[in-house]
């Protein structure tokens, strides 16, 4: 699978590791992907979301989640 990589450092990474383990995810990557998918679905609401995809991407970039 090819795609973008996101850096998670410090306390946030440690919290993500703890949450992933406590929730039964196989890895931190799996936990982060699932969490992002849920949050994106929540922000985009019903529908195909193609019109809002760019807005969500820009918002995630602004928050530092995407480069």
pLDDT tens for each residue of 13-63 = 999 999 999 999 999 999 999 999 888 888 877 665 565 677 778 888 888
Q: Which residues of 14-25 are buried (b: 16+ CB within 10 A; e: fewer)?
A: eebeeebeeeeb
What is the crossing angle of helices 53-62 and 28-44, to 10°?
130
Q: What's the pLDDT score for residue 9?
A: 92
Q: What's the pLDDT score for residue 43?
A: 83
CB-based burial label for 35 (10 Å; 0-12, 13-18, 19+): middle
Q: What's the pLDDT score for residue 51?
A: 59
What pTM did the predictor assign? 0.62
Q: Are 5 and 29 in contact (CB under 8 A)?
A: no
Identify the residue with better confidence: 38 or 1: 38
* 2-14 average pLDDT score: 88
């Amino acid at each position: 699978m090819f795609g973008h990589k996101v850096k998670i450092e410090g306390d946030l990474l440690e919290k993500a590791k703890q949450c992933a383990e406590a929730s039964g995810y196989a890895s931190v990557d799996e936990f982060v992907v699932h969490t992002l998918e849920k949050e994106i679905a929540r922000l985009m609401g019903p529908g195909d979301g193609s019109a809002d995809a760019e807005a969500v991407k820009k918002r995630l970039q602004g928050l530092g989640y995407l480069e």
